[in-house]
């Protein structure tokens, strides 16, 4: 497109500098084509970006443009400057961290959300944004076999940006319910819990700035006897236990805490139980994995992330409370300018009171699109496939003398392995596989030893990708031996 010397870039009846509808249509179609092409070819790209710190910024002009720029030029820079600096989370060769997978219906839901541009802080600022969210989260209760008490007649679900925010909200609600002005408050979670628990405790400003970290057993699950002893001794010392966070599917090894027993202890002490199933909750779509939610009916709150494994773009964490009142009491502040008849009628949900920020996007659209596009059977099919692939890989690892399967207790989609000869060879295998660009893996430490995590959950990961990864792992283990001999 030719660039005008003066005045607006786009002409054709549209006042000012705005993009005219016809140009938006054209570029919008081109953008969807660009994304479709990207998703088709992403598996051929090196998974991890190879740029060095500062490379991306070095390609950008130092100052913002004074004159409007053509959209084609912007997209050219996307290809030339941005894409090399992108690590391809949507590659089927993605096995790092946990996935942040997506899907075409979800992307379209995000586009529609951007197009509507709704800010759904109150029911009255866009009733559909609130009601769709409430409704779709009720659907998810059914899909995941969660207890009915998390449904919207009394309790209810809300989309948070992340599991970290869900944990923080659970903590704030727990503190509200405990209603103590003077006691020293304590929070419990296992040594394997996600770091977001510690962060929530810090943000909430609880004294000590750290949760009590309960030791784990050989399956990396919270030890009940240790939890009970810690709580008992805190109570004896005059402290007030307010919250335990149980993990269903830990980040390092997919370990599952004994939720039922923890729940019973929480009831005994009047403590809030929050269950963090950020990744693993999705597996409960499958009836054979519903046992993951055993005891969740004793929880006061629960979260899982459709933005990890349920084909829904980041950000989408589904957070549930069994009783919404303490959450709202903790987070509701009502200035005059937000007052409205619907809120005052008590007949509506205002999700601003269920989260830390005021404003919120229309995120339910993408989850709704995903659930409707795949149907329960489609979701079960793909999630079941990921688990089957991970189990197959775990079998190959267990049968190979060079490797050790570290989380043999798990029947989910995370495979943890290490080289039998120790941390150095394990590190070399990890680095060698990542250096190929044909897969991306990350590590953790379990029992003080280095572990490679293989997380199978990218939308387009098929058997051939897992087979190729296994080949790379074996090749790297062989060259390790060569290195050692050399
Ligand atoms: N909880 C668990 C068990 C996780 O594995 C993670 C991230 O991997 C989180 C919480 C944090 O997730 P988010 O990025 O949604 O805050």
Encode pLDDT of 264-293 as tens digits.
999 999 999 999 999 999 999 999 999 999
Which residue's CA is minimally distant from atom 14 of ligand 1?
Answer: 162
Ligand 1: which atom is nearest the Cα of residue 165? 16
Question: What residue owns the CA closest to ligand 1's atom 5?
Answer: 251
Given this model, what pLDDT does residue 8 score?
57
- Cα Dmax for the chain: 78
Q: What is the C-alpha separation between 271 and 175, in angstroms, rounded?
A: 10
Task: For residues 95 and 458, give the distance between their C-alpha atoms in angstroms, rounded to a whole number.
Answer: 8
Is 238 a residue whose pLDDT tops 60?
yes
Residue 282: CB within 6 Å of ligand 1? no
Residue 194 CA to ligand 1 centre (angstroms): 6
Q: Is the CB of 164 under 6 A from ligand 1?
A: yes
Please, are residues 192 and 250 in contact by the beta-carbon 8 Å criterion? Answer: yes
Q: Hunting for tokens 């688990």 — which residue is that?
A: 387
Confirm or reject: Cβ of 251 under 6 Å from ligand 1: yes
Tokens coding 281: 């909750």
Q: Strand locations in 239-348, DSSP E?
A: 240-247, 272-276, 301-304, 317-321
| 130, 145 Cβ separation under 8 angstroms | no
- Is 394 in contact with 454 (CB distance < 8 Å)? no
Closest-CA residue, ligand 1 atom 9, reads: 163
pLDDT at position 11: 53
DSSP 425: H
Q: Does the Cβ of 276 fall within 6 Å of ligand 1?
A: yes
| Residue 251 Cα: closest atom of ligand 1 | 5
Mean pLDDT computed over 305-321 = 98
| 163 in contact with ligand 1, CB cutoff 6 A | yes
Task: Summarize pLDDT for 67-89 with one digit per residue, the tens.
Answer: 999 999 999 999 999 999 999 99
Q: How far is CA 86 from the centre of its chain?
A: 19
* Nearest ligand 1 atom to alpha carbon 193: 3
Residue 90 Cβ contacting ligand 1 at under 6 Å: no
| 8 Å CB contact between 66 and 458 | no
**7 backbone dihedrals φ, ψ, rounded to 5°:** 75, -170
Determine the atom of ligand 1 nearest the C-alpha atom of 249.
Answer: 3
Block residue for tokens 């659209």: 365
Which atom of ligand 1 is the closest one to the Cα of 166?
16
Q: Which of 196, 275, 292, 413 to mutate to test the pocket of ligand 1 (most atoms within 8 A of CB)?
A: 196
> Would you say 298 and 266 are in contact if contact means Cβ atoms under 8 Å apart?
yes
Instruction: Say yes or no: CB of residue 162 within 6 Å of ligand 1.
Output: yes
Indicate the pLDDT class of residue 9, thresholds 50, 70 and 90: low
Is pLDDT above 60 for 13? no
Atom of ligand 1 nearest to the CA of 317: 15
CA distances from 245 to 195, 317, 385 (A): 12, 16, 30
pLDDT at 6 over 60: no
Ligand 1 atom with the shortest distance to the CA of 98: 8
Instruction: Report whether residue 196 contacts ligand 1, using a CB cutoff of 6 Å.
Output: yes
d(CA 396, CA 403): 9
pLDDT digits (tens, 9 = 90+) for 118-168: 999 999 999 999 999 999 999 999 999 999 999 999 899 999 999 999 999
Rounded Cα–Cα distance for residues 47 and 138 (Å) = 36
Under the banding of pLDDT at 50, 70 and 90, the label for residue 57 is: very high
Please tell me the distance between residue 278's alpha carbon and the centre of ligand 1 in angstroms.
Answer: 5
Chain centre to alpha carbon of residue 316: 7
Please name which of 310, 245, 233, 252 lies closest in space to residue 274, comparing C-alpha atoms. Answer: 245
Confidence band for 2, pLDDT divided at 50, 70 and 90: very low
Helix and strand numbers (H, E) in the chain are 15, 11
Ligand 1 site-directed mutation target among 94, 164, 165, 444, most atoms within 8 Å of CB: 164
For residue 52, give the DSSP letter: P
What sign does the CA torsion over 194, 199, 201, 204 have?
negative
Which of 213, 264, 215, 272 minimizes the C-alpha distance to 241? 272
Q: 318 C-alpha vs ligand 1 centroid, how far in Å?
A: 12
pLDDT score recorded for residue 380: 98
Q: How far is the CA of 307 from the centre of ligand 1 (A)?
A: 10
Question: Which are the contacts of 337, defined by CB distance < 8 A and separation ≥ 6?
Answer: none
Q: Which of 249, 251, 277 is the best mutation target for the ligand 1 pocket, counting ligand atoms within 8 Å of the beta carbon and taking the most?
A: 251
């Amino acid at each position: 497109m030719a660039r005008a010397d003066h005045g607006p870039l786009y002409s054709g009846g549209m006042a000012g500098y705005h993009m005219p509808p016809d140009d938006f249509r054209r570029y919008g179609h081109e953008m969807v084509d660009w994304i479709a092409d990207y998703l088709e070819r992403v598996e051929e790209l090196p998974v991890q970006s190879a740029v060095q710190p500062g490379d991306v910024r070095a390609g950008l002009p130092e100052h913002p443009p004074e004159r409007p720029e053509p959209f084609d030029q912007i997209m050219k820079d996307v290809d030339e400057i941005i894409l090399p600096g992108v690590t391809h989370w949507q590659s089927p060769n993605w096995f790092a961290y946990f996935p942040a997978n997506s899907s075409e219906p979800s992307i379209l839901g995000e586009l529609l959300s951007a197009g509507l541009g709704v800010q759904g802080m109150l029911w009255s600022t866009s009733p559909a944004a609130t009601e769709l969210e409430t409704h779709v989260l009720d659907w998810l209760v059914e899909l995941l076999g969660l207890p009915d008490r998390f449904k919207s007649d009394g309790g209810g679900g809300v989309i948070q940006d992340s599991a970290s925010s869900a944990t923080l909200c659970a903590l704030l609600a727990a503190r509200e319910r405990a209603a103590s002005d003077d006691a020293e408050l304590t929070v419990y979670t296992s040594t394997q819990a996600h770091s977001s628990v510690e962060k929530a405790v810090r943000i909430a400003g609880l004294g000590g700035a750290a949760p009590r970290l309960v030791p784990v057993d050989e399956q990396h699950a919270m030890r009940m006897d240790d939890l009970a002893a810690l709580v008992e001794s805190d109570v004896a010392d005059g402290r007030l236990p307010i919250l335990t966070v149980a993990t269903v599917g830990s980040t390092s090894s997919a370990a599952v805490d004994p939720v039922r027993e923890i729940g019973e202890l929480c009831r005994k002490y009047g403590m809030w139980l929050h269950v963090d199933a950020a990744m693993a909750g999705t597996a409960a779509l499958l009836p054979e994995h519903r046992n993951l939610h055993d005891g969740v009916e004793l929880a006061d709150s629960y979260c899982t992330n459709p933005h990890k494994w349920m084909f829904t773009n980041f950000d989408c964490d589904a957070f549930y409370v069994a009783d919404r009142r303490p959450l709202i009491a903790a987070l509701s502040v009502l200035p005059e300018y937000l007052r409205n008849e619907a809120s005052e009628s008590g007949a509506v949900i205002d999700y601003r009171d269920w989260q830390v920020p005021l404003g919120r996007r229309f995120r339910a659209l993408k989850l709704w699109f995903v659930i409707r596009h795949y149907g329960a059977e489609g979701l079960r099919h793909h999630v079941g496939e990921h688990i089957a692939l991970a189990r197959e890989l775990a079998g190959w690892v267990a049968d190979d003398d060079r490797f050790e399967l570290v989380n043999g207790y798990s029947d989910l989609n995370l495979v943890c392995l290490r080289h039998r000869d120790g941390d150095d060879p394990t590190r070399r295998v990890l680095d060698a596989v990542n250096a190929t660009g044909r897969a991306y893996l990350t590590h953790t430490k379990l029992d003080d030893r280095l572990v490679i995590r293989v997380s199978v959950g990218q939308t387009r990961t098929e058997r051939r990708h897992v087979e190729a990864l296994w080949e790379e792992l074996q090749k790297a283990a062989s060259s390790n031996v060569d290195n050692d001999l050399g």
